[in-house]
Amino acid sequence: MQAMVLEQPRTPLRLRDIPEPEPGDGQLLIEVHACAVCRTDLHIADGELTRPKLPLVPGHMIVGTVAGSGERVGVPWLGWTDGTCRYCTSGRENLCDAARFTGYDIDGGYAEYVVADERFCFPIPAAYSDLDAAPLLCAGLIGYRAYGMTGDAQKLGIYGFGDAAHIITQVALHEGRRVFAFTRGDDAEGQRFAREIGAEWAGDSLGPPPEELDAAIIFAPVGPLVPAALRAVAKGGVVVCAGIHMSDIPAFPYDILWGERVLRSVANLTREDGERFLRVAPQVPVRTEVQTFALDEANEALDSLRGGRIRGAAVLQLRA
Ligand SMILES: [Zn+2]
Ligand SMILES: [Zn+2]
């Protein structure tokens, strides 16, 4: 089968003909129809996440059909957990020390076929096409977990307006919240996109907010946004860092954390997060905006994501 393979970090993926994976006990062989491209894939390809299996087939927002049955399923980032550790047994399987992640520890969806543990796959809501569903599987799920950490914040700041932000903005508006989008100062296109999706204000992430925020989610992997967001939230507000990697956070005065502000990260997802979000998404209904690429254009998709040129989510389309 054809796959885009990372042989070494900081080198382009290569189109390779590799053997079709064989499912073991409890695993599904899935014909990949679409796989969205995550910023995490960039961090892996760029060597910022340092322990991928190599060679690696990246990709963890996979929509496909089970070989044999034709049932449509989604494969997310969380690919396996031990089920026995103190995290797994306390509803926090996202923190499992032994967890294995799709497109990092396990070959992922930049390929014609993928094998996945069936206990970690999700049914895909019927309302979504393969292409439109793919971004729900990480940008949606993990974005929703981050959104949940903001409690009942009415004025929500979102820093970095890409795949996760455009999904979570729709959920927040549906729940009657107000959304303020923060992008690079010169990113007029990103600000326009945020307003189109329904943010009531969009502007420079390093400038002051138009109003004091109740909470903020940082999707951009940019450490200096942490003090900026802390300065933007009211007393008691929470700042959630939703990415798996971020550049160093500059030192900041205690003053901007004082007043019971909370700074926290969100790591991975639990299966419960996935089930909950995939129930909510068609009710909103969340509509995803996707830019499609062929499998052998995965490097172009990654470059476009790195350069901030993707409106919504980039998705590799394997079968029409
Ligand atoms: Zn992801
Ligand atoms: Zn565990």
Distance 122 CA to ligand 2 centre (A): 20
Instruction: Compute the distance from residue 253 Cα to the ligand 1 centre, in Å.
Output: 32
Range of the domain at 294: 2-135+269-317
Say which ligand is closest to the CA of 96. 2
Does position 291 have pLDDT exceeding 90, yes or no? yes
Neighbour count for residue 144 (Cβ, 10 Å)? 24
CA distances to 88, 94, 106, 268 from 99, in Å = 10, 8, 11, 10
What global pTM score does this model have? 0.96
| One domain for residues 56 and 153 | no
- In this prediction, residue 320 has a pLDDT band, given cuts at 50, 70 and 90, of confident
Residues 209-267: tens digit of each pLDDT = 999 999 999 999 999 999 999 999 999 999 999 999 999 999 999 999 999 999 999 99
Compute the distance from residue 9 Cα to the ligand 1 centre, in Å. Answer: 17
CA 141 to centroid of ligand 2, rounded, Å: 20
Mean per-residue pLDDT over the chain, rounded: 97
Measured in Å, residue 138 CA sits from the centre of ligand 1 at 5
pLDDT in tens, 104-160: 999 999 999 999 999 999 999 999 999 999 999 999 999 999 999 999 999 999 999
Distance of CA 217 to the CA centre of its chain: 13
Domain boundary among 246, 265, 284: 265
- Mean of pLDDT values over 181-195: 96
Distance CA 235, CA 97 (A): 34
Strands 27-37 and 113-117: antiparallel
Do 73 and 59 belong together in one domain?
A: yes
Residue 129 has φ and ψ, to the nearest 5°, of: -70, 165
In terms of domains, do 58 and 72 share one?
yes
Distance CA 76, CA 74 (A): 6
Task: Provide the number of structural domains found in the chain.
Answer: 2
Query: Do 44 and 130 reside in the same domain of the chain?
Result: yes
User: In angstroms, what is the span from residue 269 Cα to ligand 2's centroid?
Assistant: 13
For residue range 73-115, list pLDDT tens digits in order.
999 999 999 999 999 999 999 999 999 999 999 999 999 999 9
Measure 170 CA to ligand 2 centroid, in angstroms: 33
Judgement on whether residues 274 and 131 belong to the same structural domain of the protein: yes
Give 156 Cα–ligand 1 centroid separation in angstroms.
22
Q: What is the pLDDT of residues 37-50, one digit of tens each?
A: 999 999 999 999 99
| Residues less than 5 Å from ion ligand 2, measured at CB | 81-82, 85, 88, 96
Q: Find the ligand nearest to 37 CA.
A: 1
Let me know whether 259 and 274 are in one domain. Answer: no
* Nearest ligand to the CA atom of 85: 2
